[in-house]
Structures are given as C-alpha cells and as structure tokens.
C-alpha cells in the first residue's frame, strides 16, 4: 500500500507567508520571471472563480480582476519542503516527491514499526509533520494521491484501485507533471471523470493525446510506475551574501568562490557531485532556483564552473545572495592516469595530495588562495577574498 501525504497549496502558502494570507481573497502564484506566463498554485477563493494552476495569466486576470498575484519563492519552498521530507524520513519512510506539497512512500515496511496497521503509520506521520496534512492510501501512487485529495478526517482515505478512481474528476491529472496539460482538453471533449477516460479505447487516446494521453489512460486504470524513493542525503551547501547587488562578471566570480568552498568541504570526502542546485535571492524581491544535473559526476571546479556559469544568464534580476548546494553526491573522483609520463601532471598530483593531507590535518582553511571577487571595486575590502585552493581534493 502506498501512502500519499498532501499539503495543499504548499508553494502558495510558503510564498504568501502563511495560510492566513490565503483567506483574504483570490490569490495565485505569479509566473516566475522569464518563464511561461501561467499562474502557479491558486487559493480556494481563486479556484471558486474557475482559475486553476497552469492557466494563462491573462485569462486568470480576466476571470478575477482582483486576483492577488504573489511572487514565487522557489528557494523558500525548496527549504520548507526539504524540512517536511526530512521529518517523513525520520519516521522511517522512503520518500518519493515529484513536486513540493506531495510526497509518497510505501507503507508496507513501516507497518511493523508503527503498530502494524495503516492507521499507526498515519498517526506517526501526523505526529512527525506537526502541520495539517491530507493523507491518502492506495495500491498505486496516483490512487494514493486521489485518496489524499479526498481525505478530510484524521484517518487516511483509501482508494483501492480503478473502481475507486472512476468517479474522480480528470482535473486530478493536473497534479502529475506529465499529464498536467490534458484536463482542459479532456473537459472540452466532455470527458470529466477518470472513469470516462479509462473507458476510452487506448489506441484512440494515444492517437489524440500521444504519450501524455497514454500515461493518463494508465493512471485512470489504476496503473502507475513504481515508486522511486530518494536516497536521504547529506545537505552540503554554501551561501554568499553579495553586499552589492551582483550581476554579470561579479556574479561569476562569486559562483567560482562558492564552487571552491563546496568542493573544499570536509564532509564531501572526495566524492563527486552528480547534481547541484543554484539559487539566489533577488534584489527586487522573490527568489530564483535552478537545478543542474551534470553530464557525469564532477569534482573538477573548472568543469563545474563551465556547467553552472551558463545558468547565471537565466537570473531575471541582480542577486542579493547566491547559494550553491550539492543535491546528489557521486562516487569518489578517480582521476585517470596519464598515457605518458608528464612532469606537470605528477607535480599537480603531488600538490593535490599535499593539499589533501594539509586539509585532513588542519581543516578546509589549510590551503587557500586569493580570489579577485570584484577587483575594480572602489572599496578595498570588496576586491578580494581568501578561498579554498582549487587544486585540492579532487
């Protein structure tokens, strides 16, 4: 049995600063700067006016001229959601989460830990979350999600399979990234419940809607891909407050500094980085977040800089602070051996070992270099900082 924990309108609540703000009238998350001009999560009052997540901004404003648009806060949301996931993992759940506000886990292994029943697991989850949540359960992830949207009491709502899903609205498909665009088209065609969708011939659905249609058809029939729980990881991150709002070259230097500091962290223990999250607090208010998956696990600051610097161009405004977090760590870096004896390579190797030894003995500050952060600044102390030596563990 899969359990789904749903915190409704999580992103909107975090961005608005609390659930109380949502009671003041129709509210929606504004589009992120530079992204598609569609609204994000919407409040209940906005939903009552026919506005739904993913609706074009113009259409949403036409339906509710007094719609309050809240600037998105992707960094705040990611931090808050990470705390929620950590609490779920603290009760033993192997959690999968495709988006903030929705987390699923397999309850089978947890039953013995928490009284042997689903209710015991639900109670443990509620106790750990310390925040109101809707909890549903079902044989698949989608059934559990549908059940969670139905849940109103303290006990979990259960949808046992395709029969239980039949009366649910197709709007539920908006909660899955792969099928989020389908409900509007389905509703126009008069297909309003998942039962109606499940009854359609599979080939006809594939013909009309392509792969997204096939996924929706599977979901409506109670079939879903198996859970892929995340590996509870360590949090490795470095933040730099930029005293002068930064953009361009200054931002690139700040990024270089963050990379050096992240790679010099002792907790990394020589491991590579598979994915990193670059985020910023913007001068104009709001935050920006970009996830970067490297083509291969990296521990080379130069290659990381190449991969990450291009993302800085996507920043919609100057930044007040920049943060780099290692999202997933890979195996320890194993530098390949040179084909020919190369004295430079040998010297670099010896230097790297020496730096590694010095750091192991005296901490990450044992080998530093001077990095020119803003060499043209008129204020002397803003020109250069000491940063971990980049030829270190790697």
Rule CB under 8 A: is residue 383 a binding residue for other proteins? yes
Q: Cβ contacts of residue 383 below 8 Å, gap of 6+?
A: 372, 373, 374, 375, 376, 377
Q: Beta strand 134-138 with 2-6: parallel, antiparallel or unpaired?
A: antiparallel
Q: Is 266 in the site for other proteins (CB under 8 A)?
A: no
Residue 387 found at the interface with other proteins (CB under 8 A): yes
State the Cα–Cα distance between residues 392 and 394, nearest whole angstrom. Answer: 6
Asked if residue 319 binds other proteins (CB under 8 A), the reply is no
Q: Which residues contact 29 (CB under 8 A, 6 or more apart)?
A: 11, 12, 15, 39, 40, 41, 42, 53, 69, 70, 72
Least spacing, CB of residue 377 vs other proteins, in Å: 9
Give the residue with the Cβ less far from other proteins, 149 or 321.
321
Residues 219-238: x/- map of binding to other proteins (CB under 8 A)? -------------------x
Binding flag, residue 52, other proteins (CB under 8 A): no
| Interaxial angle between packed helices 118-129 and 74-90, expressed in degrees from 0 to 180 and rounded to the nearest 10 | 130
- Give the nearer residue to other proteins in terms of CB position, either 341 or 381: 381
Question: Per CB under 8 A, which region of 27-35, 67-75, 286-294, 381-389 contacts other proteins?
Answer: 381-389
Q: Measured between alpha carbons, how far is 262 from 323 in angstroms, rounded to an integer?
A: 10
Instruction: Decide whether 119 or 234 has the Cβ nearer to other proteins.
Output: 234
Concatenating the DSSP letter of every residue in 241-270 gives: EEEEEE-THHHHHHHHHHHHHHHT-GGGTT
Using rule CB under 8 A, residue 386 touches other proteins: yes
> CA torsion angle for 50, 53, 58, 59 (degrees, to 10)?
-30
Q: Shortest distance, CB of residue 261 to other proteins, whole angstroms?
A: 6
Site for other proteins in 354-373 (CB under 8 A): 368, 370
DSSP state of 56: B
- The correct pick among 119, 163, 244, 342 for binding other proteins (CB under 8 A) is 244
Which residues does 360 contact at the CB level (< 8 Å), separation at least 6? none
Least Cβ distance, residue 318 to other proteins (angstroms): 13
What is the rounded CA–CA span in Å between residue 72 and residue 256? 27
384 binds other proteins (CB under 8 A): yes
- Write down the least CB distance from residue 253 to other proteins, Å: 12
Which residue from 159, 240, 246, 304 is in contact with other proteins, where contact means CB under 8 A? 240
Give the separation between CA 270 and CA 239, rounded to whole angstroms: 20
Please tell me the number of Cα atoms within 13 Å of 383 on its side-chain side.
7
Q: Judged by CB under 8 A, how many residues of this single chain contact other proteins?
A: 20
> Which of 207, 241, 284, 342 is in the footprint of other proteins by CB under 8 A?
241
Q: Is 341 in the site for other proteins (CB under 8 A)?
A: no
Question: Judged by CB under 8 A, does residue 328 bind other proteins?
Answer: no
Indicate the residue among 65 and 380 with the shorter CB distance to other proteins. 380
């Amino acid at each position: 049995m899969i359990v789904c924990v749903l915190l409704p309108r999580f992103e909107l609540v975090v961005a608005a600063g609390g659930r109380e703000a949502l009671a003041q009238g129709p509210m929606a998350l504004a589009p992120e700067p530079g992204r598609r001009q569609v609204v994000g999560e919407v409040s209940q009052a906005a939903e009552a006016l026919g506005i739904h997540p993913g609706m074009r901004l113009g259409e949403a404003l036409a339906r509710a001229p007094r719609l309050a648009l809240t600037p998105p806060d992707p960094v705040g949301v990611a931090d808050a959601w990470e705390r929620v996931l950590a609490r779920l993992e603290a009760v033993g759940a192997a959690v999968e989460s495709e988006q903030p506000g929705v987390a699923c886990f397999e309850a089978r292994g947890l039953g013995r830990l928490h009284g042997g029943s689903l209710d015991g697991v639900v109670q443990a989850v509620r106790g750990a979350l310390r925040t109101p949540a809707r909890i549903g359960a079902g044989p698949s992830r989608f059934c559990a999600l549908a059940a969670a949207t139905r849940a109103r009491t303290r006990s979990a709502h259960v949808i046992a399979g395709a029969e239980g899903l039949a009366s649910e609205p197709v709007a539920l498909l908006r909660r899955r990234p792969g099928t989020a665009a389908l409900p509007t088209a389905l509703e126009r065609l008069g297909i309003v419940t998942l039962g109606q969708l499940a009854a359609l011939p599979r080939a006809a659905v594939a013909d009309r809607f392509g792969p997204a249609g096939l996924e929706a058809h599977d979901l409506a029939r109670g079939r879903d891909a198996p859970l892929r729980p995340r590996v509870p990881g360590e949090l490795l991150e470095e933040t730099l407050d930029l005293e002068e709002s930064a953009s361009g070259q200054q931002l690139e230097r700040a990024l270089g500094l963050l990379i050096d500091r992240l790679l010099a962290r002792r907790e990394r223990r020589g491991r590579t980085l598979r994915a990193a999250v670059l985020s910023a607090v913007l001068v104009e208010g709001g935050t920006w977040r970009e996830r970067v998956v490297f083509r291969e696990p990296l521990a080379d600051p130069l290659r990381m800089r190449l991969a990450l610097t291009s993302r800085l161009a996507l920043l919609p405004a100057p930044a007040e602070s920049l943060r780099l977090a290692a999202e997933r760590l890979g195996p320890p870096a194993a530098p390949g051996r040179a084909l020919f004896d190369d004295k430079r390579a040998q010297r670099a190797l010896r230097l790297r070992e020496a730096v590694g030894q010095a750091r192991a003995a005296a901490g990450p500050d044992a080998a530093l270099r001077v990095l020119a952060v803003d060499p043209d600044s008129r204020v002397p102390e803003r020109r250069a900082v000491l940063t971990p030596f980049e030829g270190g563990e790697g």
